[in-house]
Amino acid sequence: MKITAPKKPIAELAADVVVLGLYENGPLSAAATEFNRATGGLLERLLGRDDVSGKRYQMTTLLAPPGIAAPQAILIGLGERAKLDAGVAFRAAAAAAKAASAKSRKQVAFFLDDGTWPAPLHEQGIAGILFGSEGQDLYRAEKKQFPFGEAIWSGADKSALATGAILGESVNLARHLVNEPPQELYPESFAEHAVAIAKECGLSCEVWDQKRLEKERCGSLLAVARGSSRPPRLVILRHNGSAKKGPLLALVGKGVTFDSGGLSLKPSDSMLTMKMDMSGAAAVLGAMHAIAKLKLPIQVVGLMGLVENMTGPAAYKLGDVLTARNGRTIEVHNTDAEGRLVLADVLCVAVEQKPAKIIDLATLTGACVVALGLDVAGLMTNDAAWCETISAAATRVGEPAWQLPMFPEFGEQIKSEVADIKNVGEGRWGGAITAAKFLEEFVNGTPWTHLDIAGPAFAEKPKPWIGGGGTGCFVRTLVEVARHWK
């Protein structure tokens, strides 16, 4: 989608739709004042009668507004001026874009800025346009949403326009992969996407196939893959953005392209959306794409562990004892706790790259969704300062995340009678944390933060700013962390 700056004021702009931002309890922005003047005081009348309030995400469509060149205007509420942040900018722009995208449009113009917006709000708002106008109807003859030919955004400089577009594209890249059905997206085809994207944006890319994974002793990841006819892959992407070697940032993603649960089979209802179990890997790929396109002057490595968790004749079994790459032995108590087994080996490979710090992202546990709900990611760490850095970045871009404790007692629960550790805790209580304690066994003391995105990775129901499906969550946070990486 082309993103440009407006060449005319809001009243004279002959776009298909103009979108106007309104604050709760005023004041009117310059664009709103101009709109009000051109329409002979229409805005003031609507606001005065409380038909329009400026409350967050409240949307009103005006058809053929008098004195306005565009045939349609959408008024979008931004909430109170003092509470506006980048997350509101993102979601408000996305909500308006989603509404406008119900029909095919050549041009849609956005006037949300009141002349005071700093660059980060512009960037996230522009990203919101690309996000909101893209749907999940990849395989419908009759589309529900149509990305615009051109989006016009008011108030941003060239660099913010370009950055916002890269952010939006990268989030959509992750969403697209999540939305692809498992029949199309499996470890091999995910790896092919990664290779193509790496080539397009200038990342170096290494793919480990089954044979290489065997040679590299990734016994934990390989065990999960055994039940599937689709062989596993490990993808390693590298961004070398600076000539002199700075500290390396490692991003690690869970890429279970379909999670049937294995022999500990999931009930049908829980299995339905399990094409989304590769959302962590998709977020890593989306973030690496953005980091490369933004040419950030840093060193980043992105690792994606790709497997399908199935029940084929060679499937790994309860009671099996696996040996991970670092030599740790793992007793399998539940084949549906497969994500941690995949990440165990991938984290080992990450540690060998000698990163200064690691972030992993995984749709790891239903327990995290029980704890924090569908919209909030769980943060778990072995390094308080590193966790705080990520939490602050998430807050800045408006992605909710909340830290869960990593008390040593939780680690006691994964001790095994026959092996070093087992792959589940005692009972299901605190399941998000026992899973994180398992992962901690494989980071070898490297500062590390784990994001459990089981809740926010997939929207089962539509929201004002998303039609449903993959959300591309935490791509924006990862990029924000990378932009502040020293």
Alpha carbons 159 and 364: distance in angstroms, whole number: 36
Question: Could you give the string, one character per residue 243-262, with x where binding to ligand BES holds by CB under 6 A and - elsewhere?
Answer: ----------------x---
Alpha carbons 241 and 483: distance in angstroms, whole number: 12
The pair of structure tokens assigned to 431 is 């399941």
By C-beta, is 16 or 259 nearer to ligand BES?
A: 259
CB of 312 to ligand BES, least distance (A): 17
For residue 292, give Cα distances in angstroms to 109, 155, 203, 287, 343.
28, 26, 7, 9, 24
CB of 20 to Zn ion, least distance (A): 43
Is residue 431 a contact point for ligand BES (CB under 6 A)?
Answer: yes
The pair of structure tokens assigned to 313 is 């004749």
Radius of gyration of the chain (CA): 23
Position of tokens 């969704």? 369
Is residue 147 a contact point for ligand BES (CB under 6 A)?
Answer: no
Note if 340 is an active site residue.
yes
Tell me whether the omega of the peptide bond preceding residue 27 falls within 30 degrees of 0, making it cis. yes
End-to-end CA distance of the chain: 32
- Scan residues 256-285 and list those touching Mn ion (CB under 5 A): 259
Alpha carbons 198 and 196: distance in angstroms, whole number: 5
By C-beta, is 153 or 258 nearer to Zn ion?
A: 258
Residue from 169, 180, 336, 441 binding Mn ion (CB under 5 A):
336
Q: Residue 369 is inside which H or E element, if any?
A: helix 366-372
CB within 8 A of 243, min separation 6: which ones? none
Q: How many CB atoms lie within 10 A of CB 409?
A: 11
Enumerate the H helices of 226-294 as residue ranges.
268-271, 279-293
Alpha carbons 202 and 24: distance in angstroms, whole number: 44
CB of 95 to ligand BES, least distance (A): 25
By C-beta, is 122 or 254 nearer to ligand BES?
A: 254
- Scan residues 316-375 and list those touching ligand BES (CB under 6 A): 334, 336-339, 363-367, 369
Given 340, 357, 422, 476, the catalytic residue: 340
CB of 374 to ligand BES, least distance (A): 9
Taking CB atoms, the residue at the shortest distance from Zn ion is 259
By C-beta, is 336 or 440 nearer to Mn ion?
A: 336
- Residues of this chain that bind Zn ion (CB under 5 A): 256, 259, 277, 339
By C-beta, is 213 or 337 nearer to Mn ion?
A: 337
Residues in binding contact with ligand BES, number by CB under 6 A:
16
Residues that bind Mn ion (CB under 5 A): 259, 336, 338
Residues making contact with ligand BES (CB under 6 A): 259, 277, 334, 336-339, 363-367, 369, 424, 431, 454
Active centre residues (catalytic): 266, 340
